Amino acid sequence: MTQFILRRLVYSIATLFILSGTIFLVVRLTGDPVALLAEASARPEDLERVRHLWGLDRSWPAQYVTFMQNALRGELGKSFNYRMPVSELYFQRLPNSLTLGLAATLISLLIGIPAGIISAVKVNSAWDNVAKGVALLGLSIPGFWLGLVLILVFSVWLRWLPTSGAGGWRHIVMPALALGWYFAASMLRLTRSSMLEVLGSEYIKLARLKGLPDFVVIAMHAFKNALIPVFTLAGVNMVVMVNAAVIIEVIFAWPGIGRLLFEGIFQRDFPLVQGVVIMAGFMIVGINLVVDILYAFIDPRIRLTR
Amino acid sequence: MIRPRFEAHNLYPVLAIAAFLLMIAAAVASFSLPAGASARGKLVLAWHAGFASRWLDPQEHDGTATPDNFFTAIHDALIKNQGTELYNHLALAEHFQVANDAKSATFTLRKGLKFHNGDPVTPQDVKFSYENYRGAKADVFKKKTERIEIVDDRTVRFVFKEPFLDFAILFGTANVAGPGWVVPEKYYKQVGADAFKQKPIGAGPYKVVRHEPGVQLEMEAFDGYYRPVNVKQLVMVAVPEAATRVAMAERGEADIVYNIPGELINKVGKLPGITIAPVLSATFFIEFPGFQDAKNPFRDKRVREAVSLAVDRRAMNQAETAGMGKTSGNWINNDVLYAIEVPEYPRNVEKAKQLLREAGYPNGFDVDWITPLPTFYSRGERLIAQLREVGIRGRLQTMERGIFLQRLQGGLKEFPGTQMILHGARIGGSWSFWYEAHFRCGGSLSRDRICVKDLDGRFDQYERSINQTERKKIAEEIQRAILDNYYLVPVFRHAFVNSIGPRMVLSKWQDVFPTITTGYAYPWEDLKVKD
**What's the burial of B343, exposed, middle or buried (CB within 10 Å: 0-12/13-18/19+)?**
exposed
Closest approach of chain B CAs to the CA of A35, in angstroms?
6
For B118-132, B164-178, B283-297, which range has the lowest pLDDT when averaged over its residues?
B164-178
Q: What is the pLDDT of residue B229?
A: 94
Average pLDDT, chain B: 90
For residue B190, count other CB atoms closer than 10 A to its CB: 10
- Please tell me which of the candidates A42, A47, A156 has its beta carbon nearest to residue B251: A156
Q: Would an 8 Å CB–CB cutoff place A281 in contact with chain B?
A: no
Q: What number of CA atoms fall less than 13 Å from residue B214's CA on the CB side?
A: 29
Mean pLDDT within B453-462: 96
CB contact under 8 A, B214 and A121: no
**Whole-angstrom distance, CA of residue B184 vs CA of residue B76:** 11
Mean pLDDT within A275-301: 84
List the 56-115 stretch of A: residues with Cβ below 8 A of B.
78, 80-84, 89, 92, 114
Residue A133 φ/ψ, nearest 5 degrees: -65, -45
Model pLDDT for residues A169-188, shown as the tens digit of each residue? 999 999 999 999 889 998 89
Residue B33 pLDDT > 80, yes or no?
A: no
Average pLDDT, chain A: 87
**Whole-angstrom distance, CA of residue A48 vs CA of residue B138:** 13
Closest approach of chain B CAs to the CA of A232, in angstroms?
25
Which residues of B fall within a CB distance of 8 Å from A161?
A: 26, 30, 35
CB A204 within 8 A of CB A198: yes
Give the residue with greater pLDDT, B200 vs A302. Answer: B200
Mean pLDDT within A237-249: 87
Q: What is the pLDDT of residue B23?
A: 47
Q: How confident is residue B260, by pLDDT bands cut at 50, 70 and 90?
A: very high
Model pLDDT for residues B214-244, shown as the tens digit of each residue? 899 999 999 999 999 999 999 999 999 999 9
Closest approach of chain B CAs to the CA of A229, in angstroms?
23
Q: How confident is residue B374, by pLDDT bands cut at 50, 70 and 90?
A: confident
Measured N-to-C along each axis, helices B242-251 and B262-269 cross at an angle, to the nearest 10 degrees, of 10
Which residues of B fall within a CB distance of 8 Å from A41?
A: 63, 425, 427, 433-434, 436-438, 444-445
Which residues of B fall within a CB distance of 8 Å from A36?
A: 401-402, 405
Which residues of A fall within a CB distance of 8 Å from B410?
A: none
Mention every residue, 6+ apart, whose C-beta is less than 8 A from residue A275. Answer: A76, A77, A86, A87, A89, A90
DSSP string, B375-388: T-HHHHHHHHHHHH
Q: What is the pLDDT of residue B372?
A: 96
A·B CB contacts under 8 A: 188
**Whole-angstrom distance, CA of residue A34 vs CA of residue A39:** 9
Question: What is the CA angle A275-A281-A283, rounded to 5?
Answer: 105
Model pLDDT for residues B46-103, shown as the tens digit of each residue? 998 778 888 899 998 877 778 889 999 999 999 999 999 989 999 999 999 999 999 9
Residue A14 pLDDT > 60, yes or no?
A: yes
Q: What is the pLDDT of residue B169?
A: 92
Which residues of B fall within a CB distance of 8 Å from A212?
A: 3
For residue A155, count other CB atoms closer than 10 A to its CB: 23
Model pLDDT for residues A245-260, shown as the tens digit of each residue? 999 999 999 999 999 9
Q: Would an 8 Å CB–CB cutoff place A186 in contact with chain B?
A: no
Residue A52 pLDDT > 50, yes or no?
A: yes
Mention every residue, 6+ apart, whose C-beta is less than 8 A from residue B402. Answer: A30, A31, A32, A33, A35, A36, A268
Which residues of A fall within a CB distance of 8 Å from B250?
A: 156
Q: What is the pLDDT of residue B500?
A: 97
Which range scores top for mean pLDDT: B24-28, B141-145, B156-160?
B156-160
Mean pLDDT within B363-386: 94
A217 three-state secondary structure: helix
Assess whether the previous peptide bond of B375 is cis (omega < 30° from 0): yes
What is the tally of helices (H) and strands (E) in chain A? 15, 0
Residue B24 pLDDT > 80, yes or no?
A: no
Q: What number of CA atoms fall less than 13 Å from residue B188's CA on the CB side?
A: 20
**Whole-angstrom distance, CA of residue A45 vs CA of residue A34:** 12
**Whole-angstrom distance, CA of residue B293 vs CA of residue B290:** 6
Q: Would an 8 Å CB–CB cutoff place A268 in contact with chain B?
A: yes
CB B245 within 8 A of CB B500: no
Q: How confident is residue B525, by pLDDT bands cut at 50, 70 and 90?
A: very high
Residue B17 pLDDT > 60, yes or no?
A: no
Mean pLDDT within B294-316: 97
CB B123 within 8 A of CB B77: no
CB contact under 8 A, A41 and B63: yes
CB contact under 8 A, A167 and B36: yes
Which residues of B fall within a CB distance of 8 Å from A268?
A: 402
- Search chain A and give the residue with CA nearest B56: A82
pLDDT > 70: percent of chain B: 92
- Search chain B and give the residue with CA nearest A264: B50
CB contact under 8 A, B54 and A252: no
**Whole-angstrom distance, CA of residue B147 vs CA of residue B185:** 18
Buried b (16+ CB within 10 A) or exposed e, B120-144: ebbbebbbbbbeebbbbbbebbeeb
Which range scores top for mean pLDDT: A101-105, A281-285, A302-306?
A101-105
Q: CA distances (Å), B344 to each of B330, B351, B489, in order? A: 9, 16, 11
Q: What is the pLDDT of residue B149?
A: 97
CB contact under 8 A, B403 and A31: yes
Q: How confident is residue A53, by pLDDT bands cut at 50, 70 and 90?
A: confident
Measured N-to-C along each axis, helices A257-266 and A86-121 cross at an angle, to the nearest 10 degrees, of 120
CB contact under 8 A, B240 and A39: no
- Please tell me which of the candidates A32, A151, A170 has its beta carbon nearest to residue B247: A151
Residue B29 pLDDT > 60, yes or no?
A: no
